[in-house]
Each structure stands twice: as structure tokens, then as C-alpha cells.
Amino acid sequence: MTDPRRYHTPTMTSDLARAFLPHWTALRDATGVSRLEGGELKDVFRIDADSAAYALRVYQSDVGPDEVASELALTAPFAEQLHEVPDAAPNRDGALLAVEHGRVAVLTPFVEGSRLDRRDRAQRRAAAELLARLHAIAAAVESPRPRRAPAPYRDFDWHENGWWSWPKVEAFLRAHDLTSTPVDAGTLRQRIDGELAAAPHALRALVALDLPSMPIHNDYFPGNLLWHSGRIAAVIDWDETNVDWRALEVANAAIEFSRPNDAQLEPDPALVRDFLRDYVAAGGELLDRERAAMLRLRKLRLLMETLYELGRACRGLPLDEPYLWRNLTSLDSFGDDLFRL
């Protein structure tokens, strides 16, 4: 997806990261600790030890062990069956996480690679094919247990949650001039207010469609796929994984991999259809009612991203003003036929 979390500020130093090293036997003789870019909801470090390299992913202080454990439980079937999903390494006590200084950390093998290039046809095809494989594994998981946070879309509180409070966002927009946006703060507020008012009806309609649900990555976009030596080497950052509608993930991915470049939020319809065809050709299933729901699902995602950004601004974090209106309105000129095969 277009990630509104790109302003994450690292909060843990390499010295503090070293406090986690004794938890894993493999890191006993670590020779180097260096911070990695990315990991928008975590501080991520490369740990070099003997002949192997690892990635230490340290979650923010408001993410507890139970929440991380639920993420690992949903990710486990993918890690067991796909080499592209890094598997968590057990620590000295056999646990898959460790806690130091009120922070939770997970250790995985370090994977070489660079962000997938959405402009490359072969890489876009590989992304669609891998998504089909992920969903085939997910469909076979019996009675998956949804995570409490982030809540599935059908249960999500769009006005008050851990990411934003709509009353606080409204107050922020009333108090600030958005000088870099195509519209003023009042117009943006009215647009969001209207979409929030319509969301319950849209969600009831989606629930009535009885769309297939399964464990999904829930943030499947170029920034979370690593490309190396002509293939996808890893799918990373499973922070948002949950049990949710398959069509939600396919819709988001189809849009993200059909944008001509990072700066353009509007998709190329031909590339959307290419992605869907590649997904189906690789064994991905798409029911007619799923494709009919995809535009509504993607618009809900855009609303969520916009409010997430504003929620960060309410906490004093930098705000990318031009992103707000462009993101929220990027599908205004498209209809349901955007997702036809």
C-alpha cells in the first residue's frame, strides 16, 4: 500500500539493541550491530555473528508480547511452507521473542535484497504469483484466530482506535491551515466526515457478500517485498497481518503494483488487470462477488491511511500534507470495472 508511516523516527540505539543479544545463543559471538532502513513500526538492526547474519526487529513500546505472539502465530504457516517468509529464530529458552527495556524483539535470518520495483513487468508478475501462493496456504489454515489489533475491517472502530481519534483529528483540522494541499482543511474534514458516515453501510454490504476470509499479510506492497538475484527473496513486515477478506488484500495489491511510480497514487487500469490475470494464472481464486467488492474495499483502505496520517499529526509527528487529499481521492475517477479481468 501507499505507506503513511514513512516518518517513523528510530527510538532505539545500537547500544540498546545489544541488550537483546544474550537472549539468542546464535548471537553470543556477534561481531556487528547496525541499523537498517525500513521497519516502519519497528526499529530494525542487522546482527552479524560468525558466518550468519540476522535481522533483529524491535517493536515500539506500546506493542506487547501477546500482540507480537499473535502476529507470529498467524505468520507461522507461511514461514513453514515458503522460503520467502523469514522464520523467527527460537531464543535460548525456546521462545520466539524476547523483552528488554519494555520492548519486544524477534530475530529472523537477514535476507539480502532491495525494494521490489513496480515499474518492472517481471517483478510485478512475481508479486502476483507469490500472493497467489500465500493465499493458497492461508486457505488451508483451519480456524485461524483473528488478532485483536489491528482489528479486522468488519470489527474496526473507525472513529476511535489506537491509531487515531476522529474528534481529535477534527479539532486538528479546525486549528490548522493545510497550505500544501489542493483543498483547505475544512473541505478535507467534510470529505472524511462523509466517508466515515458512509463506512458502516459499506461494511454491512461487504459482510452480506460473505467474502472469503483467511490470514493475510495486509500490507502487501513493493516496500515489503525484497528482490534479489532475479526473484522475490522475502516478504517482510507482517505487523498488520490478520484474518480478513482475501479480496481486500488482492484489491490493495493490484492497485499498489499498478501505480506507474511511487509519486503517482492513481493506478494504470491496464496494469491492474495484468496483476489480476497473473494472480489467477498462478492459482489465485477470485470470485465474482470479490471483484465487485474491490473498489469499496480499496476506498476503505485509503480512508484508513489518510486518518492514520492525521492521527500521527495529532501526536506531533510530521505531516505530509500533499499526500492527504491525493490519497483520499485517488480512485474518484474509477468505477467497479477497474477490477474486471
Which of 232, 333, 216 is closest to 284 using CA atoms?
A: 216
Q: What is the C-alpha to C-alpha distance for residues 205 and 297, in angstroms, rounded to an integer?
A: 11
Question: What are the angstrom distances between the C-alpha of 59 and each of 44, 132, 195, 304?
Answer: 9, 29, 32, 22
- Longest CA–CA span in the chain (Å) reads 58
pLDDT score, position 192: 97
Domains defined for the chain, CATH in brackets: 14-110 (3.30.200.20), 115-339 (3.90.1200.10)
Structure confidence by residue, pLDDT tens digits, 290-328: 999 999 999 999 999 999 999 999 999 999 999 999 999
Length of the chain: 341
> Which residues, other chains included, contact 107 with Cβ-Cβ below 8 Å and sequence gap of 6+?
20, 24, 26, 27, 47, 54, 55, 56, 57, 88, 89, 91, 98
Q: Phi-psi bin for 279: left (phi > 0), alpha (psi -120 to 50), beta?
A: alpha
Q: What is the C-alpha to C-alpha distance for residues 24 and 214, in angstroms, rounded to an integer?
A: 32
Which of 325, 304, 305, 308 is closest to 317 using CA atoms?
A: 308
- Report the interhelical angle of 246-256 vs 269-281 (nearest 10°): 130
pLDDT score, position 15: 82
pLDDT score, position 179: 87
End-to-end alpha-carbon separation of the chain, Å?
Answer: 21
131-154 exposure pattern, b = at least 16 Cβ within 10 A, e = fewer: bbbbbebbeeeeeeebbebbebbe
Cβ atoms of 234 and 225 closer than 8 Å: yes
Helix (H, G, I), strand (E, B) or coil at 46: strand
pLDDT score, position 148: 86
pLDDT score, position 2: 39
Give me the tens of pLDDT residue by residue for the chain, a chain 341 residues long.
334 334 444 566 788 889 999 999 999 889 999 998 765 578 999 999 988 999 999 999 889 999 999 999 999 999 999 999 999 999 999 999 999 999 999 999 999 999 999 999 999 999 999 999 999 999 999 999 999 888 999 999 999 998 999 999 999 999 998 988 899 999 999 999 999 999 999 999 999 999 999 999 999 999 999 999 999 999 999 999 999 999 999 999 999 999 998 889 999 999 999 999 999 999 999 999 999 999 999 999 999 999 999 999 999 999 999 999 999 999 999 999 999 98
Question: What are the angstrom distances between the C-alpha of 203 and each of 145, 297, 330?
Answer: 21, 9, 20
Which of 238, 272, 239, 236 is closest to 255 using CA atoms?
A: 272
pTM for the whole structure: 0.94
pLDDT score, position 5: 39
Q: What is the C-alpha to C-alpha distance for residues 136 and 250, in angstroms, rounded to an integer?
A: 13
